[in-house]
Amino acid sequence: MDKIENTLKYAVLKPALFLNGFVKGKDALECNYEKYLTEILNLSKWFYQHNNGEKFVMISEQSHGEPDIVCNEYALDYKLLLSSTEAEGKRFHSQQIMMENGWIAYGVGADVPGMRVTRVHRLFDHTTVEDIERIAMNWSKNNIIEKDIHNISRTVKTDKNIMLYLPYLFLRNDLINDLDMKRIIRNELEGSFMVLFQYRDSVLGTFKYDTFLTCLYAECFLLFKWSGNHLQLIDEIEAIKSASFYELVSLYDMNKEYKQYFHV
Per-residue pLDDT of the chain (264 residues; tens, 9 = 90+): 555 656 788 888 888 889 888 888 866 777 889 999 999 999 999 999 999 999 999 998 766 778 999 999 899 999 999 988 888 777 777 777 888 877 787 777 666 555 677 889 889 998 999 999 999 998 887 888 999 999 999 999 999 999 999 999 999 888 899 999 999 999 999 999 999 999 999 999 878 899 999 999 999 999 999 998 999 999 999 998 999 998 888 887 655 555 566 654
* pLDDT for 239: 93
Backbone angles phi, psi at 70, to 5 degrees: -140, 155
Distance CA 166, CA 54 (A): 26
Number of other CB atoms surrounding residue 208 within 10 Å: 12
Distance CA 93, CA 212 (A): 30
Burial environment of residue 239 by CB neighbours within 10 A (0 to 12, 13 to 18, 19 or more): buried
